[in-house]
Structure 1
Amino acid sequence: MRHGVELFLDQKQELILSPQLKQSIEILRFSMDDLVSFLKEQALENPMMELEETEQTRSIEEDMNKKTERENLLELANRYDYPMPSGASSSGEDQEYSFLDFSSKSSTLKDDLLFQLNVLDIGYMERRIGEEIIDHLDDNGYLRTKPVLIANEMGVAEEDIEDVLQIIREFEPKGIACETLEQCLLHQIKSDDLITRQLIENHLEDIAYNRMNVISKTLGISIKEVLEKVEYIKTLNPKPGASYNTNQPIKYIVPDATIEKVDEEYQIIMHDEYLPQIHISSSYRKMISEGDEEAVKFLSKKLNAAEWIISSIEQRKSTILKILEVIVETQVEFFDKGRKYLAPMSQKEVAEKLDLHESTISRATTDKYVDTPQGILELKYFFSTEMKTDSGDDVSSTAIMAMIEEIINKENKKKPLSDAKITEMLNEKGIDISRRTVAKYRENIGIPKSSMRKVYI
């Protein structure tokens, strides 16, 4: 066997993106809101850049700040939102209050449960077990770890875990610390409501699939009574911990452009006013001509960076405008008449028409919005697959979904249309579509199948 070191020459091509080019691609990808934030960050890092905020930019910021301030004040007020004592009630009637009425509103589910645990008159070990159980709850308030595993982890008997678990399940919000949906719902109903209990224990699947006749025959009660109980079950909370997870950041949509009809023609108005104006600092510009070599080298680099950002923003605007021009040219009927008239259009077709790469079209249409006669829409909305009619015309998948939705909205709710019948109706309109595709489109727009749409009374 031969051993040794050998030298090989290998020639290959690689595309290496410069930092400036990467930044240009990133700027193209930014939404309007993200771009404003990016410019402010760059202005802090680059002394050559000065931002002059427009009235519209300040308006957006003020709205966001007011919204945040309002939410903070409401949260603070809610923390100390105690109900009036029963003796102070003007009606004089006795009222029932739960723990949540009297405790300060905590920001997390865990905080509220620990508070309720700590006010109980229980021993040290029970309290430790309770803390461990609470630590094992998921965001929806369910116990996703078997009690026996918690027992093994703590070195205690499983019965001890079960005892404390039963205590916690009486805490607010109702249905907390359960292991299954059935268990969660049962803890929210009255113990003497036997029919509702039977429905939850034996007929949740029948309820999900709208099989009210099956439930009626099995329990020997009328359809009306079944529907009343089902409506009650729908008022129960299947995710008792989820209400604590609503503090999500608010996404503000600022459209890059508006499409509006002027003198029977659609025009595009780009919203440059939402971006702060970028100026090159005159004082630092002066230092370039008068400063020492090190200062000049530093400032020249920063000046080049600022000019590249300005150029990239102009390129972003130009690319979006070109795409919008293609959209306006293609979608006149959609803007005039609505969703059923959305013409089929793919990113590949637009890319070829504008002599751009398809990935550029994708970046330029993601998180970019346009205000149109049909509402504020993401640019990606206009791209859809196409199908053929009997006459050979193209029709978009979005238009077909609008037709399916319209057909279902007009159906007899006591005898809802099957996917096969909807397919037949579309075929009669000259649209060559299969039942399987109709089912897929129906699911895409969030409409359940016919058996689940049936209304009994």
Structure 2
Amino acid sequence: MSDFPQMSFQQRTSQIMSQSQVQKMSQTQIMSLNLLAMSSADLRNEIYSYAAKNPALEIKSDSLESGVKSSRAEVSASSRFSDNTHYGSASASGSEASDNFQAALESNADEREALTDHLEHQLNAMKLSDEEKALCLKLIYNLDEKGFHILAPISFLDGENPLHNEEFLNKCLCLVQHLDPLGTCTNNYLESLLVQAKISGNASRLTLFFLEKQEHFDLLNPPQPAKIQKKIADYLLGQKKLKFTGENEKQLEKNDYSIEEIEDSLNFIRGLDPYPARNFGSTTTNYVSPDVIVRRNEGFSSDLPSDSMQEAEPEFVVTFAREFLPKLEISKEYSSLIKSAEIKEGDNGEQAERKRAELKFARNSVNEAKVFIESVLYRESTVLKAAQEIVSAQINFFRKGSRYLAPLRQKDIAEKLGLHEATISRMANSKYLACEWGIFPIGYFFTNAIGTAKTKVESEDEKNDSKKSKALPSKDSPSDGENSVLSKEAVKYEIEQILEEHKNDKKALSDQKISDILAQKGIKVARRTVAKYRSQLNINSSYER
């Protein structure tokens, strides 16, 4: 009897642990599927957001950002586990009022001139070389609604062009910065203020000193001349001891600035605009970064014997575009903290309790960071494998172009990879594939079968019977004898080609006539379907052409 309660307790404990493991696996899977459904842009934002919340996850490098550093890099190890965080929340009525106000703002159309249009008009009026104009346009369309860089300007330089060096980049940056409004095409508000001050030509050395660095600008808080004067003296004394004195700081050491001069600098800075683009409208520009790149393999040869084709290099090389995403790693500091932690069972007291809390926090953070990295890698692996299967299924498209796009279902790819169809659907969401024919949404390659092309050789009786005979696919038809059906995009392409061939006809082709011509090519498409595809191609009806 005495053993029964103990066995029951052990069984319950085992069940609880098992349920906990199942729940943990479920959470991991949910994270993996959520990341899989994200576009590259959304995943970038999610990575930076997650890295800001989890100090054990660090961004090792980011090719699209110049000098990206985590905000916690300057935080000491001792303060990372402190309890000095303060939390607050708005009331329900306050949140509702804020939402209503935001909705009212968003309901009004922004009819102001777009910043990009305003800058481009000025640029077109300048005498620039083709290289200068091209880079300046890239810099202009790289600005956010505040007029600051989205991507690091250096990323727009062409490494293979000898003209594209740092001096050339600085020249183009200066050209855009001098356009109206002054101070756009900068990294942040402080650099914008400094550019405006330099362009004005009448900024004092003290003013330039305040705008040179963030730590100098912080001396102006609070903006009280007497306190600022004392802060300047203390700062310069500290820099002199550290031997970090810059050129402006050396000039400042030779002068004792009066209260009046500090007030003049304050008034001058107040006259500058930290956000010079605020008076202009914003245009929504969607930048598409391919998730997968497909390149034709120059080393591939179709002349090899069929037996050796399996060992030969593939015709197309499929690679995942990793350069568009930050590289992640586990914090070495947190890993070493876990390894070096020594807490004996007999240790008590506040210090031991703090160590236990820090160790628990570090372990949880590292484990969660590992799960996040594994989820990102799962996304990469799934997208890459699916893309490889798509290339294999749509090989004629990659060889000859969109005219040869074959019918393909998401279910087909799911079965080949042993995944659920919903997983492939998530994979295809907001992902792009780049190849020699352009950049396409991955969903573009999934298309239903539309027409049936007759590929069997007809008998002599059928050929002689004009009522029963149907034309074989012509040599210009995308049907190659292997596929008896055509994709939606292939039919659209055929419609475009037919209209292009007959564009100079005295009478425009009707939808029924187009359907008849398609039938002659072995493509069975109803008139209503032709009308639908013609409309999707933005081509007017025969009455309007």
TM-score above 0.5, yes or no: yes
Which amino acid is the alignment partner of residue 413 of structure 2? Answer: V
1:402, CA displacement in angstroms? 0.6
**Equivalent residues in 2 for 1:294-309 (5 A)?**
294-309=357-372
Please name the residue that 1:48 is paired with.
Answer: 56
SS of equivalent to 2:147: helix
Please name the residue that 1:380 is paired with.
Answer: 443
- TM-score, with structure 2 as normaliser: 0.47
1:441, CA displacement in angstroms? 1.2
Say whether the 8 Å CA contact 1:259–1:267 is kept in structure 2.
yes
One of 496, 507, 513 as aligned partner of 1:415: 507
SS of equivalent to 1:67: coil
Kindly tell me: are residues 335 and 72 of structure 1, through their superposed partners in 2, closer, same or farther at Cα, counting changes over 3 Å? same
Please name the residue that 2:542 is paired with.
Answer: 450
Please name the residue that 2:336 is paired with.
Answer: 286
Please name the residue that 2:533 is paired with.
Answer: 441
SS of equivalent to 1:297: helix
1:438, CA displacement in angstroms? 1.0
**Equivalent residues in 2 for 1:58-97 (5 A)?**
58=66, 67-68=142-143, 72=147
Please name the residue that 2:29 is paired with.
Answer: 21
For structure 1, list consecutive stretches of 5 or more residues without a partner in the other structure: 1-14, 81-243
One of 256, 260, 266 as aligned partner of 2:291: 256
**Equivalent residues in 2 for 1:53-452 (5 A)?**
53-58=61-66, 67-68=142-143, 72=147, 247-262=282-297, 263-264=299-300, 265-288=315-338, 289-290=340-341, 292-387=355-450, 388-391=452-455, 393-413=484-504, 414-452=506-544
Kindly tell me: are residues 320 and 58 of structure 1, through their superposed partners in 2, closer, same or farther at Cα, counting changes over 3 Å? farther
Kindly tell me: are residues 246 and 69 of structure 1, through their superposed partners in 2, closer, same or farther at Cα, counting changes over 3 Å? closer
1:78, CA displacement in angstroms? 6.0
For structure 2, list consecutive stretches of 5 or more residues without a partner in the other structure: 1-21, 70-134, 149-175, 183-278, 301-314, 342-353, 456-482
1:64, CA displacement in angstroms? 8.0
- TM-score, with structure 1 as normaliser: 0.55
SS of equivalent to 1:312: helix
1:249, CA displacement in angstroms? 3.3
Question: C-alpha distance in 1, partners of 2:35/2:139?
Answer: 22
Say whether the 8 Å CA contact 1:345–1:382 is kept in structure 2.
yes
Deviations 1:21-65 (A, max 9, x none): 322111101112221221111111111011122434549999789
1:346, CA displacement in angstroms? 1.0
Deviations 1:295-329 (A, max 9, x none): 12222211111111111111111111111111111
Question: C-alpha distance in 2, partners of 1:293/1:333?
Answer: 61
SS of equivalent to 2:143: helix
Question: C-alpha distance in 1, partners of 2:530/2:426?
Answer: 30
Please give the root-mean-square deviation of Cα atoms over the aligned residues, in Å.
Answer: 3.2
Which amino acid is the alignment partner of residue 403 of structure 2? Answer: K
Say whether the 8 Å CA contact 1:341–1:399 is kept in structure 2.
yes
1:286, CA displacement in angstroms? 2.4
Kindly tell me: are residues 18 and 424 of structure 1, through their superposed partners in 2, closer, same or farther at Cα, counting changes over 3 Å? same
1:347, CA displacement in angstroms? 0.8
Say whether the 8 Å CA contact 1:278–1:310 is kept in structure 2.
yes
Deviations 1:189-228 (A, max 9, x none): xxxxxxxxxxxxxxxxxxxxxxxxxxxxxxxxxxxxxxxx
Question: C-alpha distance in 2, partners of 1:432/1:342?
Answer: 17
Say whether the 8 Å CA contact 1:255–1:376 is kept in structure 2.
yes
Kindly tell me: are residues 60 and 358 of structure 1, through their superposed partners in 2, closer, same or farther at Cα, counting changes over 3 Å? farther
SS of equivalent to 1:68: coil
Which amino acid is the alignment partner of residue 52 of structure 1? Answer: K
1:79, CA displacement in angstroms? 7.2
Say whether the 8 Å CA contact 1:384–1:398 is kept in structure 2.
yes
Kindly tell me: are residues 66 and 382 of structure 1, through their superposed partners in 2, closer, same or farther at Cα, counting changes over 3 Å? closer
SS of equivalent to 1:268: strand
Question: C-alpha distance in 2, partners of 1:302/1:386?
Answer: 49
Say whether the 8 Å CA contact 1:385–1:397 is kept in structure 2.
yes
Kindly tell me: are residues 26 and 245 of structure 1, through their superposed partners in 2, closer, same or farther at Cα, counting changes over 3 Å? farther
Question: C-alpha distance in 2, partners of 1:270/1:420?
Answer: 44
Which amino acid is the alignment partner of residue 500 of structure 2? Answer: N
Deviations 1:381-418 (A, max 9, x none): 10111132122712101100010011112223542100
Question: C-alpha distance in 1, partners of 2:357/2:145?
Answer: 48
Say whether the 8 Å CA contact 1:57–1:274 is kept in structure 2.
no
Question: C-alpha distance in 1, partners of 2:333/2:68?
Answer: 30
Which amino acid is the alignment partner of residue 408 of structure 1? Answer: L
Say whether the 8 Å CA contact 1:57–1:273 is kept in structure 2.
no
Question: C-alpha distance in 2, partners of 1:341/1:66?
Answer: 35
SS of equivalent to 1:72: coil
Say whether the 8 Å CA contact 1:256–1:271 is kept in structure 2.
yes
SS of equivalent to 2:48: helix
Deviations 1:413-440 (A, max 9, x none): 5421000000000000111111111111
Say whether the 8 Å CA contact 1:386–1:394 is kept in structure 2.
yes
Say whether the 8 Å CA contact 1:390–1:432 is kept in structure 2.
no
